[in-house]
Amino acid sequence: MRPYEAFFSENGVFRFSLKVKLLSGVAHPLHVAVADLFKRSISLDCQLIRDEACGGNQQIPLSVSEQKSGETEYSDGDLLVLKASKIKVTYTKTW
Protein backbone atom coordinates (compact mmCIF):
# COMPACT_ATOMS: atom_id res chain seq x y z
CA MET A 1 0.00 0.00 0.00
CA ARG A 2 1.35 3.43 -0.94
CA PRO A 3 1.53 6.22 1.64
CA TYR A 4 -0.49 8.52 -0.63
CA GLU A 5 -3.46 8.65 -2.93
CA ALA A 6 -3.20 10.57 -6.21
CA PHE A 7 -5.70 10.71 -9.03
CA PHE A 8 -7.56 12.95 -11.45
CA SER A 9 -11.22 13.47 -10.56
CA GLU A 10 -14.01 13.18 -13.11
CA ASN A 11 -13.78 16.91 -13.86
CA GLY A 12 -10.01 16.68 -14.49
CA VAL A 13 -8.82 18.15 -11.18
CA PHE A 14 -5.70 16.55 -9.70
CA ARG A 15 -6.29 15.22 -6.18
CA PHE A 16 -3.56 14.21 -3.74
CA SER A 17 -3.73 13.09 -0.12
CA LEU A 18 -0.90 11.99 2.13
CA LYS A 19 -1.72 9.02 4.37
CA VAL A 20 1.33 9.05 6.66
CA LYS A 21 3.08 11.69 8.73
CA LEU A 22 6.59 10.24 8.97
CA LEU A 23 8.67 9.06 6.03
CA SER A 24 11.48 6.54 5.98
CA GLY A 25 14.40 6.98 3.60
CA VAL A 26 14.72 9.84 1.16
CA ALA A 27 11.69 9.21 -1.07
CA HIS A 28 9.02 11.89 -0.71
CA PRO A 29 5.40 10.79 -1.26
CA LEU A 30 4.44 13.84 -3.33
CA HIS A 31 7.46 13.38 -5.61
CA VAL A 32 6.75 9.65 -5.93
CA ALA A 33 3.10 10.41 -6.77
CA VAL A 34 4.11 12.86 -9.52
CA ALA A 35 6.63 10.37 -10.91
CA ASP A 36 4.02 7.59 -10.87
CA LEU A 37 1.60 9.84 -12.78
CA PHE A 38 4.28 10.52 -15.39
CA LYS A 39 5.09 6.81 -15.63
CA ARG A 40 1.45 5.92 -16.31
CA SER A 41 1.10 8.75 -18.83
CA ILE A 42 4.18 8.44 -21.05
CA SER A 43 4.33 6.27 -24.14
CA LEU A 44 6.21 2.97 -24.24
CA ASP A 45 9.01 4.47 -26.35
CA CYS A 46 9.87 6.92 -23.54
CA GLN A 47 12.04 6.32 -20.48
CA LEU A 48 11.41 7.83 -17.04
CA ILE A 49 14.48 8.69 -14.94
CA ARG A 50 13.75 9.41 -11.24
CA ASP A 51 15.92 10.97 -8.57
CA GLU A 52 15.93 9.62 -5.01
CA ALA A 53 13.03 11.83 -3.87
CA CYS A 54 10.90 10.40 -6.71
CA GLY A 55 11.73 6.81 -5.79
CA GLY A 56 14.81 6.41 -7.99
CA ASN A 57 18.39 5.73 -7.07
CA GLN A 58 20.36 8.63 -8.55
CA GLN A 59 20.77 12.39 -8.75
CA ILE A 60 19.96 14.21 -12.00
CA PRO A 61 22.31 17.20 -12.43
CA LEU A 62 21.17 19.63 -15.13
CA SER A 63 23.74 21.77 -16.95
CA VAL A 64 23.57 24.64 -19.38
CA SER A 65 26.10 22.97 -21.68
CA GLU A 66 27.41 19.54 -22.57
CA GLN A 67 30.50 20.36 -20.47
CA LYS A 68 29.44 19.25 -16.99
CA SER A 69 30.99 21.18 -14.11
CA GLY A 70 30.03 23.11 -11.02
CA GLU A 71 30.01 26.28 -13.14
CA THR A 72 27.56 24.93 -15.74
CA GLU A 73 25.23 23.02 -13.40
CA TYR A 74 22.16 25.08 -12.53
CA SER A 75 19.89 22.56 -10.80
CA ASP A 76 19.25 18.95 -9.92
CA GLY A 77 16.20 17.56 -11.67
CA ASP A 78 13.63 15.40 -9.91
CA LEU A 79 12.69 13.41 -12.98
CA LEU A 80 13.31 13.31 -16.70
CA VAL A 81 11.31 11.85 -19.55
CA LEU A 82 13.60 10.70 -22.35
CA LYS A 83 12.61 9.81 -25.89
CA ALA A 84 15.24 8.65 -28.37
CA SER A 85 17.90 9.67 -25.79
CA LYS A 86 16.66 13.27 -25.78
CA ILE A 87 15.10 15.08 -22.82
CA LYS A 88 11.41 15.75 -23.45
CA VAL A 89 10.22 16.70 -19.94
CA THR A 90 12.09 17.89 -16.84
CA TYR A 91 10.40 18.10 -13.45
CA THR A 92 12.37 20.21 -10.97
CA LYS A 93 11.20 21.68 -7.71
CA THR A 94 11.72 25.38 -7.20
CA TRP A 95 11.44 27.25 -3.93
Domain that includes residue 10, residue range:
4-91
Query: Of 46, 77, 73, 74, whose CA–CA distance to 59 is shortest?
Result: 77
Cβ of 80: how many Cβ atoms within 10 Å?
Answer: 21
Average pLDDT value over all residues in the chain: 77
Tell me the C-alpha distance between 29 and 33, whole Å: 6
Predicted TM-score (pTM) of the model is: 0.64
The structural domain count of the chain equals 1
pLDDT of residue 94: 52
Tell me the C-alpha distance between 65 and 86, whole Å: 14
Task: Give the least confident one: 10-14, 53-57, 66-70.
Answer: 10-14
First to last CA, the chain: 30
Tell me the C-alpha distance between 24 and 1, whole Å: 15
Task: Give the least confident one: 70-74, 77-81, 82-86.
Answer: 70-74
